[in-house]
Structure 1
Amino acid sequence: MSALDAFSFLGSSTQFIERPKQASFSPYENNQGSIVAISGDDYVVIASDTRLSTGYSIHTRDQPKLFKLSNTTVLGSAGCWADVLTLSRVLEARMKMYLHEHNKEMNTPAVSQLMTSLLYYKRFFPYYVFNIVAGLDEDGVGRVYSYDSIGHKDTSNYVSVGSSAQLLQPLLDNQIGLKNIDGVTEPPRFTLDKAITIMKDVFISAAERDIYCGDSVYMIIIRKDGMVEEKFSLRKD
């Protein structure tokens, strides 16, 4: 008999003390979602699915995960929806403070650095979010930044995050990065129309395999002359 079993009895073998129960609590809940961003010489396309769910329950079928921060910058954020809303509001507040202090909007590279600072500040109790900051820099060139949970930043011409990232990223590597294709020495810069077509194809493909990706896709196209919003349907089962 182990020591723990021996202490379960008092006086006689018929008197038993119930072992303490362990209660668990997690402050996080993954509400899923997927985001993809593609940049070009004079544009950025960023898109997210609109399904917000927990486990096998769908809370809503019409919740985009993109937040317009300025005329040239968009935040894409998925994961724990409470943390998504908190982080986006803190970021928007900091950008308004910058606007009032400097009388100009923060550009996309500056927003990307601010995001790093906000995430690193919460490194001991991090936001459970998967983030992409996409937009145009001061020269009008498309920029895409992705992050880990404590603020490490990576720059790429294309990236995917969220529940379908393992399905989306290989397709992006093949179709945009042209990786593992014979005769290709350097990936070409795609036109906007080609980027939009690839964006639709990868989401349609992911929706066939990931139950957390579906319903529809909300897409924002960022160019010097402004932003254009588009929406297209996915399967709803």
Structure 2
Amino acid sequence: MTKQHANWSPYDNNGGSCVAIAGADYCVIAADTRMSTGYNILTRDYSKISQLAEKCVMASSGFQADVKALQKVLSARHLIYQHQHNKQMSCPAMAQLLSNTLYYKRFFPYYAFNVLGGLDNEGKGCVFTYDAVGSYERVGYSSQGSGSTLIMPFLDNQLKSPSPLLLPAQDAVTPLSEAEAVDLVKTVFASATERDIYTGDKVEIVILNASGIHREYMDLRKD
């Protein structure tokens, strides 16, 4: 079985894959820990997940200098928000802030492909998926990065999110339990690692629920 060299930019120094799944009272966000450029692995233990607020986490693939710059801007604006409002920003508010931040840079965009996950004001899981210039959508699950073309068809087959065009609108959160969602994430990463040379080494899984945030790790193929 041969791995494929995905159609990924030569300016990218971190392909990899990010996945997020929203549930009724939880959200699971995961990303692999490999940082590579071309056929060279720079490090096998690099976290692509950043906690932006108490109930909001972002996973990013793409050019890591741009990802770090984006995280610094969001962190600074969140700090200003906390001083002005004396509270943490909600996940939907952070989703709008991320969209605005990316859109301001649309003529010289951040080379970062993001998925944002967390809990909304009602305690429900929420996932927001983005393109490079800030267009975003709230979905039940999403994937970004070089492995997303392998992962999304599998998630579509397993989760079958309702169409946003349905009337009356249906809730997009997935019907899986938290443990089932974590197992599904592990399965899709094991699958993507077999075919995508930029995804591998280890997967970091962040789980948000009413009791807080905790992390799990699982080893992947290292070749």
TM over 0.5: yes
Q: How does 1:28-107 map to 2 (within 5 A)?
A: 28-107=11-90
Name the aligned partner's letter for residue 101 of structure 1.
Answer: Q
Deviations for 1:167-194, whole angstroms, at most 9, x for unmatched residues?
A: 0001101112289xxxxxx996111111
Name the aligned partner's letter for residue 111 of structure 1.
Answer: M
Q: 1:151 and 1:76 mapped to 2: Cα distance? A: 15
Contact 1:33 1:65 in 2 (8 A): no
1:228 maps onto 2:214 in alignment = yes
RMSD: 1.8
Name the aligned partner's letter for residue 37 of structure 1.
Answer: A
Deviations for 1:190-228, whole angstroms, at most 9, x for unmatched residues?
A: 111110110000000000001100000001000011001
Q: Report the counterpart of residue 11 of structure 1 in structure 2.
A: none
Partner secondary structure for residue 180 of structure 2: helix
Residue 202 to residue 39, structure 1, CA distance change in 2 (3 Å): same
User: Among the aligned pairs, what percent are the same residue?
Assistant: 50
Structure 1 or 2, whichever has the larger Rg, is 1
Q: Report the counterpart of residue 137 of structure 2 in structure 1.
A: 154
Q: 1:203 and 1:59 mapped to 2: Cα distance? A: 20
Deviations for 1:65-115, whole angstroms, at most 9, x for unmatched residues?
A: 000112210011110010010001110110011001110000000000000
Contact 1:49 1:65 in 2 (8 A): yes
Q: How does 1:1-237 map to 2 (within 5 A)?
A: 28-177=11-160, 189-237=175-223
Q: How many residues align?
A: 206
Partner secondary structure for residue 25 of structure 2: coil
Q: 2:105 and 2:11 mapped to 1: Cα distance? A: 14
Contact 1:72 1:224 in 2 (8 A): no
Q: 1:27 and 1:56 mapped to 2: Cα distance? A: 11
| Residue segments in structure 1 that go unaligned for 5+ positions in a row | 1-25, 180-185
Name the aligned partner's letter for residue 190 of structure 2.
Answer: I
Partner secondary structure for residue 205 of structure 2: strand
Contact 2:10 2:37 in 1 (8 A): no
TM-score, normalised on structure 1? 0.84
Q: 1:231 and 1:117 mapped to 2: Cα distance? A: 32
Name the aligned partner's letter for residue 192 of structure 1.
Answer: E
Q: 1:209 and 1:33 mapped to 2: Cα distance? A: 11
Q: 1:212 and 1:61 mapped to 2: Cα distance? A: 11
Compute the displacement of 1:30 (Å): 4.2
Compute the displacement of 1:31 (Å): 2.0
Name the aligned partner's letter for residue 141 of structure 1.
Answer: K
Q: 1:52 and 1:195 mapped to 2: Cα distance? A: 25
Name the aligned partner's letter for residue 132 of structure 1.
Answer: V
